[in-house]
Amino acid sequence: MIVVNGRNTPWHQGLTISEMLSSLNDPYPYVVVRIDGKHVSRPDFGNYQIPDESEVYLMPLITGG
Protein backbone atom coordinates (compact mmCIF):
# COMPACT_ATOMS: atom_id res chain seq x y z
CA MET A 1 0.00 0.00 0.00
CA ILE A 2 1.18 3.52 -0.79
CA VAL A 3 -0.29 6.88 0.16
CA VAL A 4 -1.07 9.20 -2.77
CA ASN A 5 -2.06 12.74 -1.78
CA GLY A 6 -3.31 11.43 1.56
CA ARG A 7 -5.25 8.43 0.19
CA ASN A 8 -4.30 4.78 0.58
CA THR A 9 -3.66 3.36 -2.87
CA PRO A 10 -2.98 -0.25 -3.91
CA TRP A 11 0.65 -1.13 -4.62
CA HIS A 12 2.37 -4.03 -6.40
CA GLN A 13 5.99 -4.96 -6.96
CA GLY A 14 7.43 -2.99 -9.89
CA LEU A 15 4.72 -0.28 -9.85
CA THR A 16 5.95 2.71 -11.86
CA ILE A 17 4.75 6.29 -11.64
CA SER A 18 3.22 5.99 -15.12
CA GLU A 19 1.23 2.90 -14.09
CA MET A 20 0.08 4.56 -10.88
CA LEU A 21 -1.08 7.69 -12.72
CA SER A 22 -3.01 5.57 -15.25
CA SER A 23 -4.72 3.61 -12.47
CA LEU A 24 -5.94 6.81 -10.79
CA ASN A 25 -8.13 7.75 -13.78
CA ASP A 26 -7.41 11.38 -12.98
CA PRO A 27 -7.85 13.96 -15.77
CA TYR A 28 -5.01 16.23 -14.59
CA PRO A 29 -1.54 16.15 -16.14
CA TYR A 30 0.86 15.90 -13.21
CA VAL A 31 4.11 17.74 -13.73
CA VAL A 32 5.42 17.48 -10.18
CA VAL A 33 5.70 14.11 -8.46
CA ARG A 34 7.44 13.70 -5.12
CA ILE A 35 8.02 10.30 -3.59
CA ASP A 36 9.09 10.28 0.05
CA GLY A 37 10.19 13.89 -0.38
CA LYS A 38 12.25 13.26 -3.53
CA HIS A 39 11.28 14.97 -6.81
CA VAL A 40 11.03 12.59 -9.77
CA SER A 41 11.33 14.11 -13.26
CA ARG A 42 8.65 13.41 -15.85
CA PRO A 43 11.05 11.55 -18.21
CA ASP A 44 11.60 9.03 -15.38
CA PHE A 45 7.89 8.27 -14.75
CA GLY A 46 8.02 5.08 -16.85
CA ASN A 47 11.14 3.71 -15.16
CA TYR A 48 10.88 4.83 -11.54
CA GLN A 49 9.53 1.99 -9.39
CA ILE A 50 7.62 3.21 -6.35
CA PRO A 51 8.69 1.45 -3.13
CA ASP A 52 6.00 -0.10 -0.92
CA GLU A 53 4.72 2.17 1.87
CA SER A 54 5.84 5.31 0.02
CA GLU A 55 4.20 8.70 0.41
CA VAL A 56 3.48 10.15 -3.02
CA TYR A 57 2.59 13.78 -3.62
CA LEU A 58 1.11 14.78 -6.98
CA MET A 59 0.80 18.39 -8.11
CA PRO A 60 -1.17 19.14 -11.29
CA LEU A 61 -0.28 21.91 -13.67
CA ILE A 62 -2.76 24.73 -13.18
CA THR A 63 -2.80 27.64 -15.60
CA GLY A 64 -4.91 30.68 -16.00
CA GLY A 65 -4.89 34.06 -17.50
User: pLDDT tens digits for 5-61?
Assistant: 999 999 999 999 999 999 998 877 777 999 999 999 999 999 999 999 999 999 987
Q: Which residues contact 14 (CB under 8 A, 6 or more apart)?
A: 49
Q: In which element (H, E) is residue 23 found?
A: helix 17-24
Q: Which residues partner with 55 through β-bridges?
A: 3
User: Is domain 2-60 annotated with CATH 3.10.20.30?
Assistant: yes
Residue 62 has pLDDT above 90, yes or no: no
Confidence at residue 49, expressed as pLDDT on a 0 to 100 scale: 98
> What gap in Å lies between CA 18 and CA 29, rounded to an integer?
11
